[in-house]
Amino acid sequence: MTEEIMLQGCRDNLATAQEALYNRFSPRMLGVCYRYARNREDAEDMLQEGFIKVYSQILQFRGIGALEGWIRRIIVHTCINVLKKNKKFSDSVDLVHASSIQINENNIPSMLQAKQVVECIRLLPIGYRTVLNLYAIEGFSHKEIGAILDIEESTSRSQYTRAKALLEDILVKKKILQKPRENVRMAGVSN
């Protein structure tokens, strides 16, 4: 089924077209939901709720931009709304586990399995995880994140910085990433 036929069928509320749309985009959108959810069941619930919104708002899609991008935006906002119902994002999180490691995005090996990174991201506290996903993966600005989560822009920036530090600490502890070596000069050692 072509995208145009599928869209028209969804606009006409045809179950076959809705099923085709779901089958085409749900695997990628489940991956999006999984990054925000605590577990697979929560991700599946977010996905279902998101597609209900997609179907109810399909008349608003005007064909400007990619359909997948439009669906992704609805799914992300659905995930955020679900999280907002369950948790305040302005809560501060104690960084007992995070050391003051300097983050360098080039430290993360390019060959890292995406699944390993996602699993490590999912270990972050909910506020950090959400800001990291929105900024680094979805491409929202800190100003947009602040508006979406009802937090200050500076809180978004701070949580992103702390999320990166905590993520690096997790990656190091799981031996997925080596701790960056510091230039330490030992006293009394001659060259």
Higher local confidence (pLDDT), 60 or 99: 60
Phi, psi of 129 (to 5 degrees): -60, -40
Q: Is residue 147 scored above 80 in pLDDT? A: yes
Dihedral sign, Cα of residue 18, residue 23, residue 28, residue 34: positive
**For residue 146, what are the CA distances in angstroms to 68, 78, 93, 96?**
24, 16, 17, 25
Rounded Cα distance, 82 and 108, in Å: 30
What is the distance between the alpha carbons of residues 142 and 66, in angstroms, rounded to a whole number?
24
Average pLDDT value for the chain:
80
* Nearest of 168, 111, 98 to residue 136 by alpha carbon: 168
| DSSP-assigned letters across all residues of 106-172 | GGS-TT--HHHHHHHHHTS-HHHHHHHIIIIIS---HHHHHHHHTS-HHHHHHHHHHHHHHHHHHHH
Mean pLDDT over 45-50 rounds to 95
Q: How confident is the model at residue 180 (pLDDT cuts 50, 70, 90)?
A: low
Which pTM value belongs to this model?
Answer: 0.69
What is the set of domains in the chain, with CATH numbers?
Answer: 3-86 (1.10.1740.10), 105-173 (1.10.10.10)
pLDDT digits (tens, 9 = 90+) for 85-126: 876 444 433 333 333 333 444 444 444 456 777 788 888 888
